[in-house]
Chains A and B, each alone.
Chain A
């Protein structure tokens, strides 16, 4: 009995220590990436290439999702607003929901699933096939050559993707609200224009998407770099990227929203 309890406690202890160790290692890794970023800025073509892979290739899934999210928001919003006779406010509801919350959050979740997993799998496989070791032995830092360009590409792509998500979402909402349901187009756009504040809504949304970009990209890079060099190791790392990124995005969203509302 005693040994079983001791074994359970020991298991919990090991997990806690391991988690703390990994957290510390990821922070140290983050600083390494910042230190080596200068080299990647000098070779901007590497970062531009990664913006294509992480940003441009994520466009389809982001835009299609945004379109559907915007349409659903308009349907659900109209269903509630019409009970109170304020169906013209549908444009405000769609725009604020997208710009403040859904744009940055859903984009980050989709980004983690599409680009984050690709980054983790690619870097994990580079480690498993000794490509990173080969780079080290050629006196080339893998952090400068492989990691830093991907990091800045992710940080740069995320706000742009979130902005596009919000734009296409508003368009989806418009198509449902105006031509389909029959809400007045002038009311839809004018109320939106009057209610959406640049500083309070748009800038805060951009700040959120930049923070999500840093978090999602860094998690994906660290998991790939730290993955055990086996098929199972890369597979587990890829799963961890999606789970940890999603939790980080939702947790950070709560924290940032709290501060933004108080401010």
Chain B
């Protein structure tokens, strides 16, 4: 059995006119927390969708537990997805269901457990994220941080081997952010799972991730342990980690010469 539960080999992917990934290689070892970082629009979320089989690569491959994801038929893909849990950016809770029913959803769909056992499992998961008391609330009655925690409980409801997080800290207050960081690490270690986190938040993720990939211009621009990357002199990593306004990632979007642009609009 390979040490890596997810392997990305020479992956290429693009939308109609834009090539997003140009030969990406990554490995995600079992039991580790691995972060994927990069600027907005660098294709980090797309990488998660490629791992989950929601998109097909135009070149290369993604292997999950040794299986090539895009070569699976419907049943094979469903089997692979049962090994995965995913936390979406805004939680993606089912708004017509209560907190309890949201967490019970994957258990009901994939098992024939009696109701008493489903209840025990749901309570355990909700207790793990500190929201056992909120079980009767509707998804629409939750704050952003609470919704993210319920979504996390739902993502781990079936004890997946891989947990993927898409921007888990976006829009959260510092307390909720600390709670989510703590939960990711705790759940990962308790379940013996592998966590893949897509995020922009350098300080939070550097505090608890085991390994970090930086993606820029469609390739892996840098990789390593957080402490090594913090000291990195690579211009892109330096700019990203220290939050500098200008650098290899320019402040301005591609545009014609400023002076000519102004003069042209004056002549219109």
Which A residues are closer than 8 A to B by beta carbons? Answer: 129-131, 133-134, 136-140, 145
A131 neighbours in B (Cβ, 8 Å)? 92-95
Identify which of A129, A137, A138, A139 contacts B90 (C-beta below 8 A).
A129
Q: Identify 13 new A-B residue pairs, CB closer than 8 A, beyond the known A134-B94, A139-B77.
A: A129-B90, A131-B93, A133-B54, A133-B88, A133-B92, A137-B52, A137-B54, A137-B81, A137-B84, A137-B85, A138-B109, A138-B110, A139-B78
B92 neighbours in A (Cβ, 8 Å)? 129-131, 133-134
A145 neighbours in B (Cβ, 8 Å)? 109
A2 to chain B, nearest CB (A): 25
Identify which of B79, B84, B109 contacts A140 (C-beta below 8 A).
B109
CA distance A140 to B110 in the complex (A): 9
Q: Is B82 an interface residue (CB 8 A)?
A: yes
> B105 touching A130 by the CB < 8 A rule?
no
Nearest 7 CB-CB pairs, A to B? A134-B92, A130-B92, A139-B81, A139-B78, A137-B86, A130-B88, A138-B106
Q: Is B89 an interface residue (CB 8 A)?
A: yes
> A134 touching B82 by the CB < 8 A rule?
no
A123 to chain B, nearest CB (A): 12
A137 neighbours in B (Cβ, 8 Å)? 52, 54, 81, 84-86
Identify which of B54, B90, B94, B110 contacts A136 (C-beta below 8 A).
B54
Pick the most buried of A131, A133, A139, A145: most chain B CB atoms within 10 A of its CB.
A139
A86 to chain B, nearest CB (A): 54
Find residues 77-132 in chain B having any chain A CB closer than 8 Å to their own CB: 77-79, 81-82, 84-86, 88-90, 92-95, 105-106, 109-110
CA distance A209 to B54 in the complex (A): 37
A139 neighbours in B (Cβ, 8 Å)? 77-79, 81-82, 109-110
CA distance A137 to B94 in the complex (A): 14
A138 neighbours in B (Cβ, 8 Å)? 81, 105-106, 109-110
A130 neighbours in B (Cβ, 8 Å)? 88-90, 92
CA distance A134 to B48 in the complex (A): 12
B82 neighbours in A (Cβ, 8 Å)? 139
Which B residues are closer than 8 A to A by beta carbons? Answer: 52, 54, 77-79, 81-82, 84-86, 88-90, 92-95, 105-106, 109-110
CA distance A101 to B79 in the complex (A): 50
Pick the most buried of A131, A133, A136, A137: most chain B CB atoms within 10 A of its CB.
A137
Instruction: Considering the complex, give the chain A residue whose CB is closest to the CB of B49.
Output: A133
Instruction: Considering the complex, give the chain B residue whose CB is closest to the CB of A125.
Output: B95
B81 neighbours in A (Cβ, 8 Å)? 136-139
CA distance A130 to B95 in the complex (A): 11
Identify which of A133, A136, A140 contacts B106 (C-beta below 8 A).
A140
A133 neighbours in B (Cβ, 8 Å)? 54, 88, 92
B109 neighbours in A (Cβ, 8 Å)? 138-140, 145
> B88 touching A134 by the CB < 8 A rule?
yes
CA distance A66 to B214 in the complex (A): 64
10 A-B residue pairs with CB within 8 Å = A130-B88, A131-B92, A131-B94, A133-B54, A133-B88, A137-B85, A138-B106, A139-B79, A139-B110, A145-B109
CA distance A131 to B105 in the complex (A): 12
CA distance A133 to B82 in the complex (A): 14
A140 neighbours in B (Cβ, 8 Å)? 105-106, 109
CA distance A129 to B96 in the complex (A): 13
CA distance A138 to B77 in the complex (A): 11
Pick the most buried of B85, B90, B109: most chain A CB atoms within 10 A of its CB.
B109
CA distance A130 to B45 in the complex (A): 13
CA distance A140 to B86 in the complex (A): 13
> B86 touching A134 by the CB < 8 A rule?
yes
B86 neighbours in A (Cβ, 8 Å)? 134, 137
Instruction: Considering the complex, give the chain A residue whose CB is closest to the CB of B166.
Output: A130
A153 to chain B, nearest CB (A): 15
CA distance A129 to B106 in the complex (A): 18
Instruction: Considering the complex, give the chain A residue whose CB is closest to the CB of B86.
Output: A137
CA distance A137 to B82 in the complex (A): 8
Instruction: Considering the complex, give the chain A residue whose CB is closest to the CB of B94.
Output: A131
CA distance A136 to B54 in the complex (A): 8
B79 neighbours in A (Cβ, 8 Å)? 139
Instruction: Considering the complex, give the chain A residue whose CB is closest to the CB of B79.
Output: A139
CA distance A136 to B85 in the complex (A): 11
CA distance A144 to B88 in the complex (A): 22
B230 to chain A, nearest CB (A): 32
B110 neighbours in A (Cβ, 8 Å)? 138-139
